[in-house]
Every structure is written in C-alpha cells, then in structure tokens.
C-alpha cells in the first residue's frame, strides 16, 4: 500500500516536473531577452554575434534546442534524461556542480529557520488558543498578522544595522565563513556538519554565528503564518465535538489536551510543506542580504545574466525538493491521522 | 415483558422513588458580540431511579446545552451563571473540577447526536473506550481493552473483537452510536443522558438501537434522560415528559397524561399534528378513486421503468440508485414515497423534474413524454411542475430578498407588469400564511418553518398543477411540521394540486397522503392506499418499516410489546446488489427461491402491488 | 453536539480593522497625490548627499519654520541618500508605482481567475479539467524566482511586472473561485433556480457567481499586500523597476550598502512604509474574512 502510494506520488511528481521543465524551456525562449548580446556586448560585430549565437546553440530551431537539452539527439552528449543539467553559459561549469555547491547553504538556512520557528511558534500558538479572544490571544494575533506580512530583506538589513553595526554582536553580512578561515573538507556539503566531521568546532561556531542573523530574520517572517495556523487548528480542535465529549466522559485534562494536540498537528503538516516550498524560492532575498551564496543567489545571478541552462536547473531543483517535502509531510500526516488513506 | 416493566407501567409510587438528579434554576450564559445570550434561563428537573424522562423542545430551545450543563460542562465560551445540580445529594457545581470530572463518565454517562463527531477520529474505538474506563477504574491497559470488547458486544455489535480496532470514520452512524453508548455505560453509570441519540439514523436502525439501549439500561439499572424532538420516541420509551421552551421547563408530567392533555401553549402546538392524526385514525385519507377504476383513467404523471445509475469515479461500477420504477400520480392526489436513506426516493423525485437525467425509462406528463425532450422544450413544463426541497435555508439564494425570490418565477413564466408581480408576490405570501410585508427582507433570520413556506410560495408562483415535496419537513421542529403539513393539505384542497410527497416520517405521510409507495434499495416494493399500507402492510419490508416507526401513541408502547418481525443485519450496498430479492439477506421469511429469483411487482386482489412472490402466493398473510 | 450554539469568535480588536482602513486610505491617497505634494522632485538629485534626517526633537521647530516660510528650502525630513535624492519625497511618491502595480496585477488576475474559476467549477469537462492541470503547473512554480525570470527576461518595465504578477496570481483565484463554485452549485437554491426553468448560463451568472465571489474578494486584500512585497523584492535584487523611479524596494536596495557603515536612513524609511502598508492590507483582508465567516 505505502510503497505503491509513494511510487505513484513520485511518478506523478516526475511527470509534473517534466511538464514544468518544458514550460520553463519555452517560456524563457519566448520572452524577448537577447542572451547573445548580453555575452558579446551590444557593439560587437555581426560575425562575433553570430559566432556567439552558434556557441550557445541559439541559432538552431527551438525543437532541436529542446532535443539537445533533453539529450535525445544522437551524438550530442548527455542531456536532462541522462541526468545532466547542462553547462552554465557564464562560467562553463556544469550546472549540477554549481547547484550542488549552492544548495547546502540554502537547505541549512531553511532547516535551521524552520526548526527554530516551529520551536518558538507552536507553543505560542497553543497558548493563544487556550483562551480565544483573551488578551494573550489578541496580542499574538496582531503579532502573527504583522510578522506574516513583512519585507524580509528589509528586516535583514535592519538586523544587520542593529546587531552588527550598533551592538557588534553579529558578524558582517558577508557569507558563512570569513575568507581567512579554511573550509573543512567537503563531505556532505553542509558546513555545519562537515566542520563537526572534520573535528573543527571553531569553524562550526563561526558558521553558526554567521547563520544567526539570516536565521533570525527568517524565523521572524515564518513565525507569523505558523503561529496563525497552530492557533487556528488548536482552536478548532479544542472546540470540536470529540474534545467536548472527551471532557464529558471524564477523561483527565492531560489526555483531553493530547487528543486536541494530535488533531491540531495533523492538518498543520500540509501548510508547513507549502511554506517550506515557498521559502525555498523566497530565501533569495535573505541570501542576497547576507551574501550567503546559496541557491537563491545563484538564481539571481543566472537570471540577470540570462544563463538559460542555469535558470532551468534552479527551477527544476527547487520544484523537485518541494515535491519531496510535500510527500514526506503527507506521509507524516498519514501516520498521525488514520483518516488519510493512500 | 419483564416483571419490572409491568411494575413500571403501573407504578403509582413514582414520586417516592429515590432521586438521582435534581436540577434547580439552572442558567447558562454565553458572551457574544451582541451582549450575553442565555440558551438556558431557568431549567429545573428531577430524575428518579429507573426512570426514563423525555426532554422535548425545538431546535435552539437549549436542550443540548442542558444536557451538557447537567454534567457541569459548557461549550466554551459559555458559563453556568446560576443554579444547582444535585447529584447524589451534593451540588455538582460547588465541587471542584477534578471531583466533578470523576463523576462524568462514571456516574453520569452521555451519548450525543452526531456520534461520529464525538469519537476521536484518530484513535481506535477500543482505545477510546479503554481510556474512559481507565480514567474511572484502577485497571491496566489489558483489562480496559477486554472491557471495551465486552461493552461492544453488550450493545449489540457483531464481531466486537474486530470492531475495537476500527476508527470512527470506518463505522456507520448506528455503529458509532453504539460505540458511544458502550463508552458511556462502561462504568455502569446511575444516569445516562441521551441527546438525540438517533438523529441521522434510519428508522429500522433507530428502533433497533433504542431497543438495545433500553435493554442495556434495564440491565445496568441506570435512569435515562432522553432528549429528542421526536414525539414517537417519547411516547414509546419514556415514563415522563419535560417540555423545554425558551430555556425553561414549561411542562413536566407522565407521558400518558401529557399526550392526553398537553397544557402549555407550546406543548399543544407540537401535539397539534399528532392529535389530528389521532382523530383521523379511523379514516385515513381515502383515495379519491378506488383501485379498480384506476387503470383505465388518464394520469397526471406516469413513470415507467425509471432507472438511474450513478457511475463511481475511477471504477466501472455504478450505484444503482433507482431501478425500473413504475409509478403513477393521479390528479388531485398525494402519492407518498417512503423508504430509508439510500432507497432512491429522492432520486425518483429529482428525475421526475429532470434535475437528474434518468439513465433509462419514460416519464410522461398528461400523456406527453418529457423524459426525452430537450432542456429548452422542458422549460415550458417547469411552470406546471415544481419542487420543494428538504433544506429550506439552503434552497433560497442567500443574497436575495423575499421579493426577488418570488419575482424570479414570475419573470420566467408570466408577462405580468412590475406592479402586478408585486401584488402577486404579496398574494402568494398570504397564501402560505406569511406576512406580505416581508418582501424587502432577506430570508436570513426567518425560522426554518417560515423559510419553507417561502419555498412553497415560490413553487406556487407559476400556478403549477403538481409539486414534488422532497422531505420538506425533515429539518423542521415538531410545531413547524404540523403547521406545514396542515398548510400543504389546505393548499391542495384550495388549488387542486397533486403532490409527490417524499418522506421518511410516516406520521406526516399518514396525514397527508392518499396512496403510498414503499421503496427499498431503488425498487418499489409495495404500493397501495394509505389504509392498505399503514393498517395491513404485506411486503416484509413494508411491514418492518411500519413496525419500526414509532407512532406517537403512548397507549401502544413499543417497549411493552416487542414486534417479532424485525429485520436483521445491515442494508446491502447499492453497488453490489444481491441476485434475488434484495431483502432476502435480512428477511425472516426468506427461502432459497427468494435468494435466487429477482422479484417483480405484482398486483394483489385488493388492488395494491407488492414485490414478493410469497405475498403473491398468499403464503404471508397480513399481520392480525 | 446538537443545536450547536453559534459562537462567533469574539470580534477581535475592531480597532485593528480601522488601523487597516486608515493605512490603506493613506497609501491610496499618496498614490494619487504623493508626487504632487512632495517637497522635492523625487527623481531629481538635490546636490546634498547623504544628509542625515533631523533629530526627532528638532522636528516640531522645523515644522513650524517650514510652515511660516522662514526656511529658504524645505527640510529633508528623512534625510537624503547617497545620490542626493530627498528620501521623504521619494517615500511618499512611491505608492504611485507600488500600489499601481499591485492593484493592476491583482485586478487583472482577479477578473481572469474568477471568470476561469467559474467556468472550471460550473462546467466540468475535459477542457476545464485540462485548464486546471495547466493552472496546477503554474502554481507549482516558485513564485519569487518565476517573477524574476519573467520580468528580467521580458524587460524591466512596469507593464511587464504587472503581467508577471498577474500570471502568477491568476491560478490562486481560479482555485479559490472554482472550489467555491463547486460547493455552491450543489446548493438547494441552485437546484431550485434550475427547477424554475432558468437556462444554465443564467443560473451560473445570476445565482452561482455572486455567491462565489467572497473568497476571491477577501483574498484580494492579501494579494495586493503580497504584490507590493514582491514588487519591492524584485527591485531589491535588480529585477524590478529601473532607477531612479521612486519605488520602496529600490530605495532600500540603494541604501543597503550604506547600512553596514551606519547610514540607516536611506533604507529604514522606505522599509517602514512597506512594512506598514502590507500590514494594513493584511489586517483589512483578515477583517473582511472574519466578517464573511461570521
């Protein structure tokens, strides 16, 4: 049952991804951008232009370009179907290599942010739900509305001004490790893990210190929707007939609370998944403020440089990760709630 | 009949029995945006040992609030403002929360309407019963689990060892209600509060359940507070009745006395229909035509071999909702269509108006076939046949005023001027007993009964000859039901209307209909006059349906003489129907031939039609 | 349990609704008149570079002085940035850009989404189901990155930003409207309208549509807020409107490099403006939602 469900979900996800890749492929080529002149300059000679166009493969018919990208043209090397994301037009490096370098930072940032956001927000949301309409609830409600509607990049800058410039408790927003620190050997790609594996607590602390502000910024932004959701689900659960009935049946308070908590957590899973997917793309701005060099910044660079293979790669990877996260959370949801069937 | 019930029936010393619960001046208040609201203002009631007390009242009268408040529980953000609840001589409301909690579920058990909602959706039923049992008894997990199995068996669940592992969503409504009562009775409470325990259950299941509840409680010796809107349940199961109106008990007396002589104006209003039916008892509405002359006469509506299948998504199976139904409706008569949920009665009504496209079969109106004509041609028939739906609130566009609602059919089917339409709308409102001055109001805020009148007015706007009434009373309170039925009867007499009256409430059917068709699993199993069906049903299903129906007559209490001909088991799925007679699996008279041979509707000597070969062969004689 | 007592959650802080209304009205006013009442031309450098804003204690005096005409030029209430632009003038002129983009994008997607959602929900057939799949794919795009791609590759103009945002928001409205239509079209009043003899198209437009609008309209307030955030974010990473247009995100971005050096004012003032504006729309949307549910 379970394996069949997972298999089906993955299969559907792959089809969805494929549709997305095709859509993006045509979309960026239909838009009136001229990557060739971006690379050779506006005042270049016609031959240089034509040469560059040939080098990028943009002189060929669009279907041929697609075939090349997918890797279905005989004798043209590997394409997407063989697992290759192509080569960056800007750096000449394989897109997959570049993404592999950038992705861990983003995942580390997101995972830390989600961890702390959940640890902080879930109790607050539950506290607010105990007495709906009470003073605590009102305060929490206004906070969640506020935090949920803020420009994260501006808060990042504000934190930099306060914590770095004014109070000096945070490092400058210039990446995760200072250029003077030698990076630990690359095992997993995640600095926090690699530094521990290499027995370098100093590097671990330095990276953690650098993550402090970006994570704090993101926690602030995330806390809004999470608190709101936890509160709402908890209020609903506490007001439900079965919680009322559990009280009528004389169950101890702690067990009634447990009934409600479980009922409230189940529907929260879906939203956390959506939020994670959303932030995967939304981390762009925070990464940019703190120069973290993650996937978001890679996306900005590629888009502004009209680096088509890189753009396609980024979208593909982000969507694939989102789909995996959705799947994982749906599975957790099914474990909590027996009504969810495969 | 046990010795005890005899005693109960005659016990003159009811007053001297020991008190289980005494409530004095209970008041519950909710704080809302528009100030405080008190669903319960002055609730006083005493329940004695071994007593079954019925509590009746309209929706919103505070019945459920009372049920909870008796245990010291109030839905948030409400609170108990004043009053005393003596249980075992002590005022519950003065005890601290933990002491009261010990009483709940142990000494006072409760079962509620919507049992599936009251069960935790994420825990197995057995675990939940065990949790409650362990909360009040010093036992381990294993003993609690064993107790859960015992209790489920006791309340009549087959295969309890397997059912303890089920989740709420895997249970039928009747099953979930049984699980709830198993939980409520697990610690042998002295009082069981049953808050509309059978709403949402089918009549045959309802009777089964109430019987079992009654039996179980007899065993455990609990007293019962039975909250319901159904006077049939009161008459058949209760010793005493308390009437709750606007948050206050307005009448409280033994059940026979109450039925014989209701005093309060509200009590009289809910009893109105029952009294009419009672006075009508000897002469049920006679068909205007005897069965013999029928066949030659032209009918208003003829339904021939009507079949409707609903495909199931992602499967090639179908739900066979209606199968080859033949019916005719004659001018000026009311044909009642009765059956439990899933019998297909509503689908027949909807197909008749082409709100649902029939899979096959013919429908003709005054001899003209309307089952095959285009939607455009159908529109001219729309003014002649109308429909009133079950949920009056849902049937009105929430954004429209009463005036606009009534103008719509006039715009569609008449060429009246604007002023004439207003005049006609006012006239329609008066016809259904509403004030003509509400044209500018929105239906929101009107009572369900008034809204249903408005729906009837809208249906009447185009001067139809025929109206399908699709369970028009099922969400109404007892007093609104009797008003509505009286109105329908009056309109029929004044306007010469014909009705197809679809209902599961046999009391109203008996009062309103001339002829009745009984449906089971998409088939008509018996058609005859009201008298034939109600006084001498022949088909085993019709018989079972009638005997399960709780007529509001305390002189013939079900608990005093149990009907032998009950059906057993559950209704088969309309996706996988049996080969032979659909009832064969539940019928006490089934033979091998029944299981092998599909049954056909055959005319009997007295003019009725029945779908049972044993009835046709005269093997099953009418019950004495 | 039976006869569920209708408990509306207490009307949470009605003052909040008025905060929302006030903020939204103020921003709308500035979108209309901001550039006209600005003391300086928002796109013309004053020649005075990186002037810090006056201290709070000086404001009343300065205000009085500027009113009585004692100053030879208006004060720089919020200071000037590294280019020499008057930040106050730019902050109050920006709504014309930000709000216009947000309103246009939202309006476009609202109309398109509601229309398609009605069709998809009311007439379910192979075409509308196909449309829903396309809408699914669109919705699975990472929003911010997709917006960047669309705008950067189509050209950084206001119109392109509007189209990009509209494209990304339309699926939300399709989904909202469709699911509401799906629940409305089986309601009794729709059946009754059919039984009365209304043609399908009339039932759809006169009965179902008006009763299915609420979720989309409530969402509008939220979407407008997020469109403002997105517009600013695009400018911040250099994929939005071009400088020197007065736009909040652009202003924050141009001050970003100075903030490490302690020049906080070029970024902080526009940031406060965005923060309050989006909060105002969020509050308003929430209040509408509660009224609708209640």
Q: What is the arithmetic mean of pLDDT over B607-620?
A: 88
Shared-domain flag, residues B195 and B99: yes
The pLDDT score that the predictor gives to residue B10 is 44
How far is A320 from chain B, CA to nearest CA, in Å? 28
The dihedral over CA atoms of A182, A188, A189, A195, expressed in degrees to the nearest 10, equals: -30
- Cβ of residue C211 closer than 8 Å to a chain B Cβ: yes
B68/C195 Cβ within 8 A:
no
B387 touches C at CB < 8 Å: yes
| Confidence at residue C279, expressed as pLDDT on a 0 to 100 scale | 94
The band of B7, judged by pLDDT with boundaries at 50, 70 and 90, is very low
Domains and CATH numbers, chain A: 2-82 (no CATH), 96-336 (1.10.3720.10)
Chain B residues with CB-CB distance to C189 below 8 A: 394-398
Per-residue pLDDT at C227 exceeds 90: yes
Q: How far apart are CA B322 and CA B315, in angstroms?
A: 19
Are the CB atoms for B110 and A246 separated by under 8 Å? no
- Structure tokens given for A76: 């043209």
Q: What is the pLDDT of residue A76?
A: 78
What are the tens digits of pLDDT across the range C59-79? 888 888 888 877 778 888 888
Structure-token match 């993404």, residue found: A99
Tell me the β-bridge partners of B245. Answer: B248
CA angle A58/A62/A68 to nearest 5° reads 75
Give the phi and the psi of residue B534 in degrees, each rounded to 5.
-80, -35
B32 touches chain A (CB under 8 A): no
Best of A234, A244, A245, A340 to disrupt the B interface (most B CBs within 10 Å) is A245
The strand order across the sheet containing B248-254 reads: B90-91, B78-87, B19-32, B35-48, B248-254, B240-245, B52-56, B223-227, B191-195, B108-111
Q: What is the mean pLDDT of chain A?
A: 88
Same structural domain for residues B178 and B211?
no
The answer on B145 and B9 residing in a single domain is: no
Contacts of C255 in chain A (CB under 8 A): 157
Is B56 a member of any domain? yes
Instruction: Give the model confidence (pLDDT) of B389-419 as tens digits.
Output: 989 999 999 889 999 999 999 999 989 999 9
* pLDDT over threshold 50, residue C87: yes
| Residue B552 is assigned to a structural domain of this protein | no
- Higher pLDDT pick, B478 / B179: B179
Are B154 and B239 in a shared domain? no
pLDDT above 70 (res C13): no
Instruction: Give contacts of B 24-63 with C, CB under 8 A.
Output: 30-33, 39, 59-63
pLDDT given at position B286: 52
End residue of a domain, out of B141, B165, B188:
B188
Position C231 scores a pLDDT of 93
Question: Measured between beta carbons, which residues in chain C are less than 8 angstroms from residue A168?
Answer: none
Q: Which of B215, B237, B263 is the last residue of a domain?
A: B263
- Whole-number pLDDT of residue B368: 87
Range in A172-176, B498-502, C194-198, C233-237 the model is least confident about: A172-176
Number of independent structural domains in chain B = 3
In what side-by-side order are the strands of the sheet with B523-529? B385-388, B466-470, B498-503, B334-338, B515-520, B523-529, B609-610, B602-603
**In which band, very low, low, confident or very high, does the pLDDT at B232 lie, cut at 50, 70 and 90?**
confident
Residue at B282 is within a domain: no
In whole angstroms, give the CA distance from residue B117 to residue B125: 13
- Minimal CA separation from C208 to chain A, in Å: 29
Please tell me the distance in Å from B389's CA to the nearest CA on chain C. Answer: 7
What pLDDT shows up at residue A48?
86
Would you say residue B284 has pLDDT above 60? no
CB atoms under 10 Å from CB of B494, counted, come to 9
The closest CB to that of A288, out of C237, C262, C274, belongs to: C237
Asked if B73 and B47 count as a contact pair (C-beta separation under 8 A), the reply is no
* Contact criterion met (CB below 8 Å) for C57 and C44: no
Residue B117 CA to residue B196 CA, distance in Å, equals 14
By CA distance, what is A158's nearest residue in C? C268
Do B141 and B256 share a domain, yes or no? no
pLDDT, one tens digit per residue, over A94-144 is 999 999 999 999 999 999 999 999 999 999 998 888 888 788 888 899 999
Last residue of a domain, one of B421, B441, B463: B463
ipTM for the predicted complex: 0.88
Is residue B246 domain-shared with residue B100, that is, in the same domain? yes
Minimum CA–CA partner of C294 in chain B:
B33
d(CA A146, CA B343): 54
Across the interface, whether the CB atoms of C149 and A311 are under 8 A apart is answered yes
Q: Which residues of C touch A133 (CB under 8 A)?
A: 9-10, 12
What's the mean pLDDT in B68-97?
87
Residue B375 within a domain: no
Which residues, including other chains, have CB under 8 Å from residue A157's CB and lie 6 or more apart?
Answer: A289, C252, C255, C256, C259, C267, C271
- Asked whether B551 and B527 are in contact (CB, 8 A), the reply is no
- On the question of pLDDT at A57 being above 70, the answer is yes
Give how far B623 is from chain C: nearest CA, Å.
38
Please list the alpha-helical segments (H only) found in chain A.
2-30, 35-40, 46-56, 62-70, 95-130, 135-147, 152-159, 191-197, 201-238, 241-248, 253-290, 295-304, 308-336
Report which of residues B620 and B358 the model is more confident about. B358
* Mean of all residue pLDDT scores within chain B: 85
More confident residue, A34 or B10: A34
Tokens 């009528």 locate to A248
Domain assignment present for residue B3? The answer is yes
CB contact under 8 A, A250 and B76: no
Residue B397's nearest CA partner among C293, C180, C207 is C207
The per-residue pLDDT for range B131-151, each reduced to its tens digit, is 999 999 999 999 999 999 999
Residue B94 sits in the same domain as residue B223: yes
Give contacts of B114 with chain C, Cβ < 8 Å.
1-2
CB-nearest partner of A315 from C145, C238, C274? C145
Give me the residue from B103, B110, B135 closest to A252, CB to CB: B135
What are the tens digits of pLDDT across the range B543-581? 888 888 888 888 878 877 766 656 777 778 788 888 889
For residues B84 and B1, state if they share a domain.
yes
- The answer to whether the CB of A109 falls within 8 A of the CB of A213 is no
The alpha carbon of residue C206 is apart from the nearest alpha carbon of chain B, in Å, by: 10
Taking contacts as CB-CB distances below 8 angstroms, the residues of chain A near B133 are none
Q: Which of B33, B68, B383 is closest, CB to CB, to C8? A: B33
pLDDT at position C156 over 50: yes
**pLDDT at residue B283 greater than cutoff 80:** no
Domain that holds residue B402: 398-463
Secondary structure (H, E, C), A113-161: HHHHHHHHHHHHHHHHHHCCCCHHHHHHHHHHHHHCCCCHHHHHHHHHH
Contact A241 C149 (CB under 8 A): no
Q: Which of A174, A172, A175, A199 is nearest to A185 (CA)?
A: A199
**Chain C contacts of A314, Cβ < 8 Å?**
145
Q: Which of A103-112, B1-10, B58-67 has the highest mean pLDDT?
A: A103-112
**What is the β-pairing status of strands B334-338 and B515-520?**
parallel
Pick from C278, C262, C267: nearest CA to C229: C278
Taking contacts as CB-CB distances below 8 angstroms, the residues of chain C near B32 are 7-8, 10
Percent of chain B with pLDDT over 90: 37
Sorting pLDDT into bands at 50, 70 and 90, what band is B276? low
Q: Which of A16, A149, A158 is closest, CB to CB, to C271? A: A158
Instruction: Read off the pTM.
Output: 0.84
Q: In the structure, what pLDDT confidence band is assigned to residue B455 with cuts at 50, 70 and 90?
A: very high
Alpha carbon of C129 to those of A112, B406, C43, C140: distances in Å?
A: 39, 36, 49, 17
Q: Is residue B543 a part of any domain in this protein?
A: no
**What's the pLDDT score for residue A299?**
93
Of A22-26, B280-284, C11-15, C210-214, the one with minimum mean pLDDT is B280-284
Task: Check CB contact under 8 Å for A337 and B183.
Answer: no
- DSSP assignment letter at B290: -
Q: What is the mean pLDDT of residues B303-329?
A: 87
Do B184 and B196 belong to one domain? no
CA distance A198 to chain C (A): 33
What is the pLDDT averaged over residues B28-49?
Answer: 85
- Could you tell me if residue B608 is inside a domain? no
Q: Do C16 and A319 touch (CB under 8 A)?
A: no
Classify residue B184: in a domain, yes or no: yes
Tokens at B406, concatenated: 């009534």
pLDDT digits (tens, 9 = 90+) for A152-196: 999 999 999 999 888 988 888 888 888 888 888 888 888 888 888
Identify the three-state secondary structure at position B177: helix
pLDDT over 90 (residue A266): no
Residues B57 and B178 in one domain: no
Q: Which residues pair with B52 in a beta bridge?
A: B224
Query: CATH number for the domain including B249?
Result: 3.40.50.300
Whether B353 and chain C come into contact, CB under 8 Å, resolves to: yes
Nearest CA in chain C to B379: C197
Contact B114 A239 (CB under 8 A): no
pLDDT surpassing 70 at residue A92: yes
Write the DSSP assignment of B393-454 as a string of letters.
TTTS-TT--HHHHHHHHHHHH----HHHHHHHHHHHHHHTT--GGGTTS-STTS-HHHHHHH
Measured between CA atoms, the residue of chain C closest to residue A283 is C144
Q: B43 and B178 in one domain?
A: no
Question: By mean pLDDT, which of A44-58, B412-426, C93-107 is the weakest?
Answer: A44-58
B77 in the same domain as B1: yes
Nearest-CA distance B295 → chain C (Å): 30
Residue B12 confidence (pLDDT) above 60: no
Tell me the C-alpha distance between A194 and A206, whole Å. Answer: 13
């Amino acid at each position: 049952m379970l394996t069949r469900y997972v298999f089906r979900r993955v299969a559907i996800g792959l089809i969805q991804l494929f549709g997305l890749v095709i859509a993006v492929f045509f979309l960026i080529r239909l838009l009136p951008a001229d990557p060739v002149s971006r690379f050779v300059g506006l005042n270049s000679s016609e031959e240089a232009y034509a040469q560059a166009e040939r080098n990028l493969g943009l002189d060929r018919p669009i279907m041929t370009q697609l075939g090349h990208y997918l890797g279905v043209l005989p004798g043209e090397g590997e394409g997407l179907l063989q697992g290759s994301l192509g080569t960056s037009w800007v750096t000449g490096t394989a897109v997959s290599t570049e993404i592999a370098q950038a992705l861990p930072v983003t995942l580390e940032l997101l995972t830390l942010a989600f961890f702390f956001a959940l640890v902080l927000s879930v109790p607050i949301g539950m506290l607010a739900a105990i007495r709906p309409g009470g003073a605590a609830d009102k305060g929490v409600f206004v906070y969640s509305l506020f935090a949920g509607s803020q420009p994260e990049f501006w808060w990042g800058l504000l934190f930099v001004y306060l914590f770095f410039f004014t109070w000096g408790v945070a490092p400058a927003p210039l990446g995760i490790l200072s250029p003077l620190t030698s990076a630990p050997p690359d095992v997993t790609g995640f600095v926090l893990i690699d530094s521990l594996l290499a027995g370098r607590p100093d590097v671990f602390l330095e990276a953690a210190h650098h993550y402090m502000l970006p994570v704090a910024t993101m926690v602030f932004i995330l806390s809004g929707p999470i608190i709101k959701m936890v509160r709402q689900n908890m209020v609903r659960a506490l007001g439900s007939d079965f919680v009322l009935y559990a009280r009528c049946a004389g169950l101890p308070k702690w067990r009634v609370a447990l009934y409600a908590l479980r009922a409230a957590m189940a529907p929260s899973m879906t939203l956390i998944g959506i939020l994670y997917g959303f932030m995967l793309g939304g981390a762009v701005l925070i990464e940019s403020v703190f120069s973290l060099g993650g996937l978001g910044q890679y996306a900005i660079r590629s888009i502004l440089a009209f680096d088509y293979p890189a753009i396609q790669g980024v979208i593909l990877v982000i969507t694939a990760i989102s789909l995996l996260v959705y799947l994982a959370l749906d599975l957790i949801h099914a474990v909590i709630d027996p009504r969810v069937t495969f | 009949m046990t010795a005890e019930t005899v005693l109960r029936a005659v016990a003159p010393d009811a007053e001297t029995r020991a008190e289980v619960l005494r409530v004095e001046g209970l008041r519950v208040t909710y704080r809302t945006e528009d100030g405080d609201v008190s669903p319960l203002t002055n609730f006083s009631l005493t329940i004695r040992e071994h007593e079954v007390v019925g509590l009746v009242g309209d929706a919103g009268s505070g019945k459920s609030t009372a049920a909870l408040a008796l245990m010291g529980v109030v839905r948030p953000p409400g609170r108990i403002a004043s009053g005393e609840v003596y249980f075992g001589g002590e005022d519950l409301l003065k005890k601290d929360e933990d002491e009261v909690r010990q009483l709940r579920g142990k000494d006072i058990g409760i079962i509620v309407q919507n049992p599936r909602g009251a069960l935790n959706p994420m825990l197995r039923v057995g675990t939940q019963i065990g949790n409650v049992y362990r909360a009040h008894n010093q036992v381990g997990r294993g003993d609690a689990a064993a107790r859960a199995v015992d209790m489920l068996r006791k309340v009549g669940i087959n295969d309890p060892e397997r059912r303890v592992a089920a989740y709420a969503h895997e249970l039928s409504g009747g099953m979930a209600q049984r699980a709830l009562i198993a939980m409520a009775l697990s610690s042998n409470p002295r009082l069981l509060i049953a808050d509309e325990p059978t709403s949402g259950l089918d009549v045959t299941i309802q009777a089964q359940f109430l019987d079992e509840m009654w039996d179980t409680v007899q065993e455990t010796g609990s007293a019962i507070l039975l909250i319901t809107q159904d006077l049939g349940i009161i008459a058949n199961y209760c010793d005493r009745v308390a009437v709750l109106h606007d948050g206050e008990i307005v009448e409280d007396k033994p059940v026979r006395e109450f039925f014989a002589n209701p005093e309060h104006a509200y009590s009289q209003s809910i009893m109105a229909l029952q009294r009419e039916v009672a006075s009508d008892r000897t002469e049920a509405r006679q068909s205007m035509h005897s069965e013999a002359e029928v066949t030659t006469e032209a009918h208003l509506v003829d339904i021939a071999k009507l079949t409707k299948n609903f495909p199931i998504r992602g499967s090639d199976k179908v739900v066979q909702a209606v199968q080859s139904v033949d019916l005719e409706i004659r001018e000026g008569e009311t044909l009642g269509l009765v059956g439990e949920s899933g019998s297909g009665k509503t689908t027949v009504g909807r197909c008749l108006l082409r709100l649902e496209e029939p899979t096959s079969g013919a429908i003709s109106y005054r001899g003209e076939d309307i089952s095959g004509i285009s939607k455009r041609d159908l529109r001219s028939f729309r003014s002649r046949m109308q429909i009133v739906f079950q949920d009056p609130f849902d049937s009105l566009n929430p954004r429209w005023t009463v005036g606009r609602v009534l103008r719509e059919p006039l715009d569609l089917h008449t060429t009246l001027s604007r002023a004439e339409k207003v005049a006609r709308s006012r006239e329609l409102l008066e016809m259904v007993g509403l004030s003509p001055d509400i044209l500018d109001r929105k239906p929101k805020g009107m009572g369900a009964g008034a809204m249903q009148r408005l729906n009837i007015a809208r249906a009447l706007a185009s001067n139809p000859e025929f109206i399908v009434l699709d369970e028009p009373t099922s969400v109404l309170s007892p007093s609104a039901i009797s008003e509505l039925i009286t109105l329908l009867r009056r309109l029929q007499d004044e306007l010469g209307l014909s009705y197809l009256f679809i209902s599961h409430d046999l009391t109203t059917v008996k009062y309103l209909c001339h002829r009745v068709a009984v449906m089971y699993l998409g088939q008509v199993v018996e058609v005859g006059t009201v008298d034939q069906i109600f006084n001498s049903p022949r088909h085993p299903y019709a018989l079972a349906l009638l005997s399960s129906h709780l007529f509001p007559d305390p002189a013939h209490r079900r608990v005093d003489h149990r009907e032998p001909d009950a059906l057993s088991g559950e209704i088969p799925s309309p996706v996988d129907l049996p080969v032979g007679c659909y009832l064969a699996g539940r019928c006490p008279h089934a033979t091998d031939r029944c299981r092998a041979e599909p049954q056909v509707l055959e005319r009997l000597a007295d003019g009725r039609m029945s779908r049972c070969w044993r009835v046709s062969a005269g093997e099953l004689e009418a019950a004495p | 349990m039976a006869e569920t007592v209708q408990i509306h959650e207490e009307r949470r802080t009605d003052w909040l609704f008025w905060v929302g209304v006030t903020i939204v009205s103020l921003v709308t006013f500035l979108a209309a008149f901001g550039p006209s009442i600005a003391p300086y031309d928002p796109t013309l450098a004053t020649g005075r570079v990186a002037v810090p804003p006056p201290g709070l204690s000086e404001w009343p005096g300065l205000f009085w002085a500027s009113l009585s005409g004692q100053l030879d030029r208006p004060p720089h209430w919020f200071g000037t940035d590294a280019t020499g632009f008057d930040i106050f003038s730019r902050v109050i002129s920006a709504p014309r850009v930000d709000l216009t983009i947000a309103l246009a994008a939202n309006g476009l997607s609202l109309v398109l989404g509601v229309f398609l959602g009605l069709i998809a929900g009311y007439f379910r057939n192979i075409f509308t189901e196909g449309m829903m799949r396309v809408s699914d794919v669109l919705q699975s795009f990472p929003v911010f990155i997709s917006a960047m791609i669309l705008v950067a590759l189509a050209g950084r103009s206001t119109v392109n930003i509007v189209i990009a945002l509209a494209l990304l928001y339309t699926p939300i409205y399709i989904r909202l409207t469709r699911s509401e239509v799906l629940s409305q079209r089986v309601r009794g009043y729709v059946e009754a309208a059919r039984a009365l003899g209304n043609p399908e198209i009339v039932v759809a437009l006169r009965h179902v549509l008006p009763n299915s609008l609420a979720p989309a309209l409530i969402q509008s307030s939220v979407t407008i807020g997020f469109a403002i955030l997105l517009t600013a974010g695009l400018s911040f990473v250099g994929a939005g409107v071009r400088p020197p247009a007065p736009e909040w995100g652009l202003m924050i971005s141009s001050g970003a490099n100075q903030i490490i050096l302690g020049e906080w004012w070029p970024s902080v003032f526009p940031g406060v403006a965005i923060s309050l504006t989006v909060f105002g729309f969020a509050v308003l949307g929430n209040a509408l939602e509660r009224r609708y549910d209640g």
